[in-house]
């Protein structure tokens, strides 16, 4: 009986997923038409870190992270691919290598990923805040162009000057600025007061990249922080919204997003030649949680991998991958992987929606950013 119900359950899930898979394939095929090899530079936090923390600090991120796609831990905080991986795949380009990974040789032809787990925008000059990631990029660019002008064997295997000009610059940061301010005990109004400083850091990053010749920008806003099992399990005074998320955390995230969207509008006027796309990740993720059953998810606020069981399966002392933690069955459907980051299944849906243009301002197909 148990087997039977497992199979019918999987069948049901497959039915739900088919349109999603079909749609993703469609987007992947459309994107096959890149005229020039795409080049992408990404800045951010764990939402888009493809192994930077592990490469940079030697910190270990073990299985079950990576169990469902890579079949090994790659330094990503998820069981599989992240949204940025799906975006790369939609352009038929290889997954981005972390800038700090010294063992990838010269495999930076399609760009580099500067995102690092835990990064925020402030305080400045602390590894690996946005400003530091930007300085790393400037160093990378200078070296690549220097190599291109010599007879170094690496010449031609790096990004060229026109590669930098035509590259897509992606930014996905801010979540940790808000989260850290709350966890340091700041009041809601205290957190809100910090938001303009965070936005101004992001703005100055975009301007620097523009001054360097970058013209194409893709900015992700921040997700519903108050729906993360980690926050839900650690916060004492609960002020739930109608989907069981922390209202204050989500309001702060929304205020940040309003500021970010406004910043994009200002920059489109100020930086005449820039294409700046703002993507509403918040709306995508909140819909996933609010309408979780429609997407085949049962416990949208519970981590697959963690400790403690329902309702959140999160314990700060026994986190995913560390001794004593447990994880859900590989085929089960959870939105949250480890209490903070999403599962590959959830990331698939988020990526498909990002590629749909429905959440982008202005509506722009991702393959618009193919090189050239
Ligand atoms: C993707 O790239 C591979 C090799 O890099 C190539 O063989 C394949 O035809 C490409 N697919 C599309 C859809 O462009
Ligand atoms: C849930 O789905 C309904 C129907 O598609 C939609 O109208 C609603 O906005 C969704 N909820 C959220 C929070 O996105
Ligand atoms: C985590 O460990 C600390 C220190 O040992 C303890 O005070 C705290 O209660 C633990 N938290 C949980 C959720 O078990």
The C-alpha atoms of residue 142 and residue 153 are separated, in whole angstroms, by 17
Mean pLDDT of the chain: 91
How large is the average pLDDT for residues 46-51? 98
Residue 6 placed within a domain = no
pLDDT the model gives residue 307: 98
Residue 318 placed within a domain = yes
pLDDT the model gives residue 20: 52
How large is the average pLDDT for residues 14-42? 61
- The 3-state DSSP class for residue 124 equals coil
CATH number at residue 331: 3.40.50.1110
Of 290, 292, 349, the one to substitute when testing ligand 2's pocket (max ligand atoms within 8 A of C-beta) is: 290
Query: Is there an atom of ligand 1 within 6 Å of 33 CB?
Result: no
pLDDT the model gives residue 89: 96
CA distances from 64 to 233, 297, 331, 343, 346 (A): 21, 20, 14, 11, 17
Helices then strands, each counted (H, E), the chain: 11, 8
Quickly state the pLDDT bin for 18 (edges 50, 70, 90): low
Strand pairing category for 216-220 and 326-327? unpaired
Q: Is it the case that residue 363 has pLDDT exceeding 60?
A: yes
Ligand 1 atom nearest 28 alpha carbon: 13
In terms of Cα–Cα distance, which of 232, 124, 217, 108 is closest to 179? 232
Among protein residues, the one whose CA lies closest to atom 12 of ligand 1: 32
The C-alpha atoms of residue 74 and residue 51 are separated, in whole angstroms, by 6
pLDDT the model gives residue 104: 79
pLDDT the model gives residue 16: 53
Q: Where is average pLDDT lowest: 113-122, 151-160, 233-242?
A: 151-160
The C-alpha atoms of residue 260 and residue 199 are separated, in whole angstroms, by 6
Query: Is there an atom of ligand 1 within 6 Å of 92 CB?
Result: yes
pLDDT the model gives residue 7: 41
The answer to whether the bond into 128 is cis (omega within 30° of 0) is yes
Residue 239 placed within a domain = yes
Give the whole-number percent of the chain exceeding pLDDT 70: 90
The C-alpha atoms of residue 189 and residue 72 are separated, in whole angstroms, by 43
Ligand 3 centroid to Cα of residue 317, in Å, is: 6
Residue 298 placed within a domain = yes
Task: Give per-residue pLDDT as tens, 296-343.
Answer: 999 999 999 999 999 999 999 999 999 999 999 998 999 999 999 999
Among protein residues, the one whose CA lies closest to atom 10 of ligand 2: 287
Residue 10 placed within a domain = no
Among protein residues, the one whose CA lies closest to atom 2 of ligand 3: 317
The C-alpha atoms of residue 281 and residue 267 are separated, in whole angstroms, by 20
Q: Which residues, including other chains, have CB under 8 Å from residue 281's CB and lie 6 or more apart? A: 172, 220, 221, 222, 223, 350, 354, 359
How large is the average pLDDT for residues 14-36? 53
Strand pairing category for 40-44 and 168-172? parallel
Q: Is it the case that residue 236 has pLDDT exceeding 60?
A: yes
Contact 321, 59 (CB under 8 A): no
Ligand 1 centroid to Cα of residue 76, in Å, is: 25
Residue 255 placed within a domain = yes
Strand pairing category for 360-361 and 326-327? unpaired
- The 3-state DSSP class for residue 218 equals strand
CA distances from 97 to 74, 103, 210, 249 (A): 11, 10, 23, 32
Contact 325, 288 (CB under 8 A): no
The C-alpha atoms of residue 325 and residue 170 are separated, in whole angstroms, by 34
The total number of structural domains in the chain stands at 1
The C-alpha atoms of residue 331 and residue 194 are separated, in whole angstroms, by 41
Q: Is it the case that residue 212 has pLDDT exceeding 80?
A: yes
How large is the average pLDDT for residues 197-219? 98
Ligand 2 atom nearest 294 alpha carbon: 2
The C-alpha atoms of residue 111 and residue 168 are separated, in whole angstroms, by 9
pLDDT the model gives residue 371: 59
- Conformation bin of residue 71: beta by default, left when phi > 0, alpha when psi is -120 to 50: left
Quickly state the pLDDT bin for 106 (edges 50, 70, 90): low
Of 316, 318, 324, the one to substitute when testing ligand 3's pocket (max ligand atoms within 8 A of C-beta) is: 316
Alpha helices in 298-371 (DSSP H): 344-355
pLDDT the model gives residue 31: 44
Task: Give per-residue pLDDT as tens, 115-138.
Answer: 999 999 999 999 999 999 999 999
Among protein residues, the one whose CA lies closest to atom 6 of ligand 2: 287
HSE-CB for 116 with a 13 A CA cutoff: 25
CA distances from 60 to 57, 91, 341 (A): 9, 30, 17
Q: Domain residues for 304?
A: 16-359
Strand pairing category for 360-361 and 275-279? antiparallel
Residue 192 placed within a domain = yes
Contact 52, 98 (CB under 8 A): yes
Residue 153 placed within a domain = yes
């Amino acid at each position: 009986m148990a087997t039977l119900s497992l199979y019918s359950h999987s069948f049901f899930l497959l039915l739900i997923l088919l349109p999603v898979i079909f749609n993703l394939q469609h987007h992947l095929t459309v994107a096959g038409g890149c005229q020039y090899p795409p080049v992408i530079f990404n800045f951010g936090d764990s939402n888009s870190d493809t192994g930077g923390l592990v490469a940079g600090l030697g910190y270990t991120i073990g299985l079950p992270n990576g169990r469902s796609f890579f079949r090994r831990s790659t330094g990503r905080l998820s069981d599989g691919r992240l949204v940025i991986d799906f975006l790369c795949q939609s352009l038929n380009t290889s997954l981005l290598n972390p800038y700090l990974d010294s063992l990838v040789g010269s495999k930076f032809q399609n760009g580099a990923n500067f995102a690092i787990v835990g990064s925020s925008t402030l305080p400045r000059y602390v590894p690996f805040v946005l400003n530091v990631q930007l300085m790393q990029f400037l160093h990378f660019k200078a070296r690549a162009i220097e190599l291109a002008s010599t007879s170094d064997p690496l010449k031609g295997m790096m990004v060229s000057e026109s590669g930098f000009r035509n590259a897509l610059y992606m930014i996905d940061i801010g979540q940790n600025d808000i989260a850290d301010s709350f966890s340091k005990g700041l009041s809601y109004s205290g957190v809100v007061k910090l938001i303009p400083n965070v936005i101004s850091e992001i703005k100055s990053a975009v301007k620097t990249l523009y001054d360097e010749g970058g013209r194409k920008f893709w900015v992700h806003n921040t997700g519903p922080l108050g729906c993360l099992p980690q926050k839900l399990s650690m916060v004492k005074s609960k002020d739930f919204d109608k989907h069981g998320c922390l209202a204050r955390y989500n309001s702060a995230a929304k205020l940040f997003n309003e500021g970010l969207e406004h910043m994009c509008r200002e920059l489109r006027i100020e930086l005449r030649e820039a294409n700046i796309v703002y993507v509403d990740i918040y709306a995508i993720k909140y819909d996933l949680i609010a309408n979780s059953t429609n997407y085949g998810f049962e416990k949208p606020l519970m981590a697959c991998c963690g400790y403690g069981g329902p309702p959140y399966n999160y314990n700060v002392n026994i986190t995913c991958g560390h001794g004593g933690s447990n994880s859900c069955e590989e085929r089960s459907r959870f939105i949250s992987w480890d209490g903070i980051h999403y599962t590959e299944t959830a990331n698939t849906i988020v990526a498909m929606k990002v590629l749909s243009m429905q959440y982008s301002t202005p509506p722009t197909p991702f393959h618009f950013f193919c090189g050239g």
